Structures are given as C-alpha cells and as structure tokens.
C-alpha cells in the first residue's frame, strides 16, 4: 500500500508565524488521502505525503490557497525576485489604508449624513469607506482565521477576525477598519522580516550555478546541474563556481571553499584532490570528474541538515509552546468574562466593556512570543553554516552555551594527525630495517593513521606476506609471518604476555612526546617504532580562549601517559587522561558529566564516534567530504580550524541571550497591555500596533543580529567580516 504514497515539497508565501503553519497543517491533514503533512515556519516549506489515487497535488494546492497562502512547487529552484507591488496582500493593505483615510476625512470634514438605513442603522458614506477598508484589509487573513475558528484553534488570524466581526456587530466601524488595516500592515511587515531570516538559508542555496560546462570529447556543452551524471567531466575556468562535487583530473588552482568549510584563505587543488560544489575557482583552469549528483553534494547535504535542524526544537522553544497553550486560552476566557460580567452584573456599559473584551482577544495571541525562538535559532544556524560550522538543531545550539567541560581527542584534533616515524629501535638482535619491514607488513592491512605512517616510512622496502591478520581495537594488530605470529601495538598489549618491556627506551621516547609501538612475537620484543605528530598551530590559542571563557579543557587519548603529558603541557591543558580504549573514553565522558555537568566532546567523528554520541554535545571536526562524521556528530566543523570552537561558544551564548531577551520582552509587553486594558489605557489600535506589529518586528529584528554576528580572529587582532544576510 505504501508503494502508492507520493511525497512533495512546496514553497509557501505569506507564512509569517508559527500559527500559520499550524493552520495549514490542520487544514491539509483532514483531506482524504493525505498521510502526513509538515509545515516548517522558519523554512517556509510544506512537506506532504499523500495517495495520488485519492487526492491530486492540485487539489491540495487549491486547499492551501483557499485559506490565503500562495504555493510554489519545485521548492529547491532558484527564487525569483518578488514584485512587492503586485502581491494581493500589499494591494489589499493599500486599498484598506486609503479607504480608512477617506472615511476618517468624511467623518471629520463633512456632515456625513446617512445615505440609507440598514437593520435600523444609518449607513453614511464614511461607513461604506470603513466597511471597504475592513473587507480589503481582512480579506487575506480572515480566510485563514475562519479555517482556524472551524478547528477551534485560537490563532492570531482567528482572534483578529473575531475582534473585527465583534466591532462591526456593535457598530464600531472605525475600530473594525483600523484593526483590519493595521493587522494587514503588521502581517506584511512580519512576513518580510521573517523572509530576511529565511534568505540567510536561501543564500546557501544560491551558491551553486544552475548550469555546468560539461566536456564531451573535444566539445563543450552547458547542461542544467540536475542533468549532469556521475563520471561526467566538468570544465571550470577562473572566476567560475564549482557546480558539483568531484575530483580534479587535470589542472591546478586555488579555490575559495568558504561556503563549505568557512576557511577564509583559498585552498590549493591539484590532480586527485576533491572539490566541493559552491566553491569559487580563484585562478587556474580545472577539469573535474563528477563524483556526486547535485542532490547529494556536500553543499546540498549541509542545506538539508540546516533545514532539518528546525525539527530539533530548543528547550526555550518547548517552554514557549507550553506557555502559549496556557496563556492564550486563559486570556480568551478572561475576554469572555469581561464581555459578560460587568454589563450583566455590575451595571457597566455594554459597548465599552465589549471593546475591552475585543482588545483582550487581540492581546491573547502570543504571536511575537511564538516566533521569537525559531527566528533566532534559524539566524544563528545559518550564520554558523556560512562559517563552516554545521549545527543540527536549536537544542544543540542552546546546549553549547551551557557546556562546562570540553574534552578533546588528541590525534587528528589537537594534533594534525599526520604522524611520521621518527625512531626505529632494534631489540634482541633484529636489524632496524627488518623491524620496520615487519611492522609495515603487519600494518599494511590497516587504515589507522599510525599504520599509514609506518607503511609510508617503509616505502620501497618489499613487504612480507601476512596470514591470520586480526585487528585488536584500541590495542594493536597481529598476524603470522613465515609461520610465526607477531604483534604490533601499545606496550600494554605485550605486558600481559609476561614479556619484559624495554622501559628505559620507552620512557625516553615518550618523554619526548612521541607515540611508541612495540613489535614482537609471543617469545620476544624485537623493536620499537616511535612516531610523532605535530600540534596544530592554532591549538594553543584555542585552548587559551576556551579557558578564558570559563570552560574546563580536558584531553582524553589512547596514547601513552608520557606522550599525553608532554602534549598537554605544551598546550596548557591541566587535566588529561591517557591510555584509554574507545569504551574507556565513553566512561570518562560520563564521569566528567557526573562531576562537572554538561560536557562537549571534540573528535574526528569516526574513531571517536562512541564518545561523541555519549557527550551532551558531540563535535566532529574536519568532516567536509566525510559522510560518517556528518551523521555522527551533533555539531560538525567542516574544516580543521580550531578557532571555530571559541566562535561556536560565543555564538551559542549570544543566541541564548537573544532568545531570552525576545521571550521576556514578548511576555512583559503582553501582560502590560492586558493590565492596561481595564483602566482604559490600551485601545484596540494600541493592542495591534504595540502588542502584535511592534513586538513581532522587535523580536525579529533582534534575532537578525545573530545572522550578522562576526567571528573574531584573535591572531590578527581584528574581526573577520562575515557575509551579511
């Protein structure tokens, strides 16, 4: 049966608040044949699964447009520039404003006598103007409001529609027209403010060109990127953008790949190296063999993950939702009491108290409160993505601001991960060249960085055949050479066999900060291979900045204690834990969480996967082009730039501050207005201008500051400008 289910993704216009998303979801979910529907407010997209035998896509589009929203298919296509003046919402707002102004002028400047009577009421020309203003202003949002009323949902559209109808019932035509005009203006301004936040994500989508120059024999043809196949040969000239991921097969150049990795300096690319879609070819001519289709490129995956991050709701967003579920019904119930009790039991004037009730209805919807968090989160996430930091949800953004301890793996994280053999020590009579040959033969079956370094050191030396190869995770490897079983691995692997360890030689090498591997059989240890890794140039400054920010920095490594001590001392790290197996790293993360609270783990995303998953926030670095690492971590640093960590900490802190500012400002404004209704200090118009339009624009503008946040480059003592939204 599921074979008949079809999935579509549509782009929506006019989606200016989370309530709108809920209205659309509720309307479409009731249509027969619809299996699931999800509307993302911050992305402006609707994902829908439906049975095409029961309902057509056109029917679903018509249902959405019937309640006042515009639908565009092919959501991932380039976005054409919107014509502001041709939009129905804008035209309705202009007509509403003009009619309201005309009605007020007639009321003030003329006698404005009734033209006719209807239902016992005199209808003057000004009243007709006010009714026209009401109809033109309310036309767009009243349809969505009616859809919400039918489903008994107290959305802003529904509450405003009820307030306008109520004002007309009691003949408060100026109030009704003012509400319709001001709310249509507020919706329009909110819509464009929210679009600015969405545009920061769309800017990523516009990084890849629509066409690619494909080489066929001696000719060149331009094809849409969607039609380019894996294996096709691309021609990329200086100044052009790379349209698809691939491997350089001819040429040499420097590429600006900051959209992917956040690296500010162009990266040299030569034959055999990978290039990413969205990168800019700075100087040379390149021919690139396509390795991934457009929908699977690294940039496409980044965009998809940023979009999907919306579903990972931040704790503050869940708080707002819980608060709204209590706040809105409470204020609506209060409005009903205000409309009924004073006129019936306290001798109050009906019209006066009814207007107060209508004002409370307008104040009842926490529109600004509901949009305050998601707009802040999407602004921060897209800022991070442009800086080469992929955060998989608001929950991890907020958690990062609360982290107490940051634990680092050593190899490939604090160090470059480019190990080199520095010493080969012969023991028990085996020549050094044979020790290296034996070690390289055993390691030739492994892909571990240590194994690659040993094999590279033995380059040109004929290797021996290995039988019975076995990997011992976290310890070493073993295999049979010429009928005898040999091991290569950490000293602990041999100490359990009862062999005497060359303690003096080991200690001397380890105190120099070198990683040591023993080579031997069940009978004797025949040699020591010492390797050394270079500390990353930005590691010391990064540790200093994190410590200055109040974070406890810890190093956890599988390397020996002496080497770990030497590296930690050089970096200024006081706390380190060495000789840890993968499962020991997980235990250490748990112990750190128990002792300090929330812990972030920074590693390579592959070897450290268990520890990354166990931490409050797992941060994988240098993952551009690494699918496994992208899936493993909660946060991914696309390049090996450690300076992104202090930036990430500061971004998360600022995001947390902005979210709190927005939430409390929205709550204070709403409660202040609600209290001011009773003594008559707050009118219907003030409720719209301040409580809805003003508050929504305020929180959105505040949130957009996160999109313009700039990362400090401490090494240069200046600020690195980020692309503005």
Calpha distance 367→25 (Å, rounded): 17
The pLDDT assigned to 628 comes to 58
The pLDDT assigned to 721 comes to 37
Calpha distance 306→705 (Å, rounded): 19
Across 49-58, 77-86, 438-447, 488-497, least confident range: 77-86
The pLDDT assigned to 135 comes to 93
The pLDDT assigned to 711 comes to 62
How confident is residue 718, by pLDDT bands cut at 50, 70 and 90? Answer: very low
Residues 325-341 have pLDDT tens digits of 788 888 888 988 999 99
What percent of the chain shows pLDDT beyond 70?
Answer: 87
Calpha distance 539→124 (Å, rounded): 77
pLDDT at 655 over 60: yes
Helices 125-150 and 156-169 cross at an angle (nearest 10°) of 140
How confident is residue 552, by pLDDT bands cut at 50, 70 and 90? Answer: very high
Residue 420, beta-bridge partner list: 532
> Under 8 Å CB-to-CB from 392, ≥6 apart: which residues?
305, 308, 309, 312, 633, 634, 635, 636
How confident is residue 454, by pLDDT bands cut at 50, 70 and 90? Answer: very high
Residues 233-286 have pLDDT tens digits of 999 999 888 999 999 999 999 888 776 776 667 888 889 988 988 888 988 899
409 is catalytic: yes
| Helix or strand holding residue 720 (H, E) | strand 718-720
Residues 174-194 have pLDDT tens digits of 888 888 888 888 777 766 666
Answer for the pair 536, 416: CB distance below 8 angstroms, yes or no. yes
Answer for the pair 648, 545: CB distance below 8 angstroms, yes or no. no
- The arithmetic mean of pLDDT across residues 552-577, rounded, is 90
Neighbours of 463 (CB within 10 A): 15
Q: Which residue reads 């020549």 in tokens?
A: 431
Per-range mean pLDDT, top range of 349-363, 628-642, 646-660: 646-660
DSSP SS3 for 247? strand
Calpha distance 3→49 (Å, rounded): 12
> Under 8 Å CB-to-CB from 14, ≥6 apart: which residues?
20, 68, 69, 70, 89, 140, 191
pLDDT at 383 over 80: yes
Calpha distance 394→321 (Å, rounded): 15
The pLDDT assigned to 725 comes to 35
Calpha distance 536→35 (Å, rounded): 51
How confident is residue 79, by pLDDT bands cut at 50, 70 and 90? Answer: very low
Neighbours of 699 (CB within 10 A): 29
> Strands 121-124, 525-532: parallel, antiparallel or unpaired by DSSP?
unpaired
**Which sign, positive or negative, has the C-alpha torsion 394, 396, 399, 401?**
negative
Q: Which of 19, 409, 533, 692 is catalytic?
A: 409
Calpha distance 260→280 (Å, rounded): 11
What percent of the chain shows pLDDT beyond 90?
Answer: 26
- The arithmetic mean of pLDDT across residues 25-46, rounded, is 82
The pLDDT assigned to 77 comes to 45
Answer for the pair 99, 177: CB distance below 8 angstroms, yes or no. yes
Q: Across 5-63, where does the E strand assignment appear?
A: 6-13, 34-40, 45-50
Calpha distance 480→490 (Å, rounded): 18
Residue 247, beta-bridge partner list: 274, 289
> Under 8 Å CB-to-CB from 712, ≥6 apart: which residues?
646, 647, 650, 719, 720
> Under 8 Å CB-to-CB from 668, ≥6 apart: which residues?
none
Q: Which residue reads 């000789």 in tokens?
A: 579
pLDDT at 344 over 80: yes
Q: Kindly report the pTM of this predicted structure.
A: 0.71
Per-range mean pLDDT, top range of 221-225, 307-311, 416-420: 221-225
Residues 463-476 have pLDDT tens digits of 998 998 888 877 78
pLDDT at 694 over 90: no
Q: Rounded to 5 degrees, what are φ and ψ at 314?
A: -75, 155
Answer for the pair 44, 12: CB distance below 8 angstroms, yes or no. yes
Calpha distance 557→560 (Å, rounded): 8
**Average pLDDT of the residues of the chain:** 83
Answer for the pair 630, 623: CB distance below 8 angstroms, yes or no. yes
The pLDDT assigned to 720 comes to 37
Residues 202-234 have pLDDT tens digits of 666 667 788 899 998 888 899 988 889 999 999
């Amino acid at each position: 049966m599921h074979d008949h289910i079809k999935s579509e993704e549509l782009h929506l216009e006019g989606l200016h608040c989370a309530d709108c998303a809920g209205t659309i979801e509720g309307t479409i979910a009731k249509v027969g044949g619809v299996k699931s529907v999800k509307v993302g407010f911050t992305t402006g997209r609707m994902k829908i699964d439906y049975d095409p035998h029961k309902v057509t896509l056109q029917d679903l589009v018509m249902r959405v447009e019937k309640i006042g929203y515009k639908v565009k298919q092919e959501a991932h296509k380039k976005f054409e520039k919107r014509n502001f003046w041709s939009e129905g919402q804008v035209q309705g707002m202009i007509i509403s404003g003009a009619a309201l102004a005309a009605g007020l002028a007639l009321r003030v400047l003329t006698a404005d006598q009734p033209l006719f009577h209807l239902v016992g009421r005199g209808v003057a020309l000004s009243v007709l103007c006010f009714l026209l203003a009401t109809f033109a202003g309310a036309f767009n949002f009243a349809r969505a409001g009616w859809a919400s009323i039918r489903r008994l949902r107290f959305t802003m559209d529904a509450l405003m529609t009820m307030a306008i109808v109520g004002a007309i019932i009691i003949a408060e035509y100026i109030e009704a027209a003012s509400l319709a005009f001001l709310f249509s203006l507020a919706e329009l301004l909110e819509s464009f403010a929210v679009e600015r936040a969405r545009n920061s994500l769309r800017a990523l989508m516009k990084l890849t060109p629509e066409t690619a120059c494909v080489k066929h024999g001696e000719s060149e043809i331009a094809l849409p990127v969607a039609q380019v196949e894996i294996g096709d040969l691309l021609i990329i000239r200086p100044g052009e953008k790379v349209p698809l991921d691939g491997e350089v097969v001819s040429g040499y150049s420097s590429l600006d790949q900051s959209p992917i990795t956040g690296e500010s300096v162009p990266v040299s690319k030569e034959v055999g190296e990978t290039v990413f879609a969205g990168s800019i070819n700075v100087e040379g001519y390149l021919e690139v063999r396509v390795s991934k289709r457009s929908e699977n490129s690294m940039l496409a995956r980044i965009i998809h993950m940023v979009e999907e991050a919306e579903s990972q709701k931040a704790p503050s967003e869940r708080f707002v939702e819980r608060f709204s579920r209590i706040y809105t019904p409470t204020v609506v119930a209060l409005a009903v009491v205000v409309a009924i009790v004073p006129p019936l039991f306290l001798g109050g004037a009906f019209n006066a108290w009814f207007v107060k009730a209508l004002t409370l209805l307008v104040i009842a919807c926490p529109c600004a409160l509901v949009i305050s968090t998601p707009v802040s989160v999407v602004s921060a996430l897209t800022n991070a993505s442009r800086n080469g930091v992929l955060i998989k949800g608001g929950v991890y953004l907020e958690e990062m601001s609360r982290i107490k301890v940051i634990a680092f793996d050593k190899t490939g994280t604090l160090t470059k991960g480019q190990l080199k053999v520095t010493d080969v020590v012969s023991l028990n009579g085996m020549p050094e060249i044979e020790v290296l040959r034996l070690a390289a033969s055993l390691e030739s079956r492994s892909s571990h960085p240590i194994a690659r370094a040993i094999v590279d050191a033995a380059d040109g030396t004929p290797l021996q055949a290995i039988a019975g190869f076995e990997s011992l995770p976290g310890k070493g490897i073993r295999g049979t050479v010429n009928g005898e079983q040999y091991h290569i691995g950490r000293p602990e692997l041999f100490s359990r066999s009862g062999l005497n360890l060359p303690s003096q030689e080991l200690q001397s090498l380890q105190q120099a900060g070198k990683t040591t591997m023993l080579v031997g059989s069940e009978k004797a240890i025949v040699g020591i291979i010492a390797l050394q890794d270079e500390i990353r140039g930005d590691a010391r400054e990064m540790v200093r900045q994190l410590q200055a920010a109040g974070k406890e920095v810890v190093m956890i490594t599988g390397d020996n204690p002496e080497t770990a001590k030497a590296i930690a001392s050089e970096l200024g790290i006081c706390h380190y834990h060495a000789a840890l197996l993968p499962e020991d790293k997980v235990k250490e993360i748990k112990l750190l969480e128990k002792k300090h609270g929330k812990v972030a783990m920074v590693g390579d995303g592959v070897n450290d996967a268990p520890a990354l998953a166990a931490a409050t926030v797992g941060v994988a670095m240098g993952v551009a082009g690494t699918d496994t690492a992208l899936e493993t971590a909660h946060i991914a640093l696309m390049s090996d730039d450690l300076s992104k960590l202090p930036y990430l900490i500061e971004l998360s802190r600022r995001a947390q501050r902005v979210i709190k500012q927005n939430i409390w400002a929205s709550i204070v404004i709403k409660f202040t207005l609600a209290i001011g209704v009773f003594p008559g200090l707050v009118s219907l118009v003030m409720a719209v201008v301040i409580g809805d339009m003003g508050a929504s624009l305020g929180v959105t503008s505040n949130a957009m500051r996160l999109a313009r946040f700039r990362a400090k480059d401490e090494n240069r003592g200046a600020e690195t400008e980020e692309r503005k939204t």
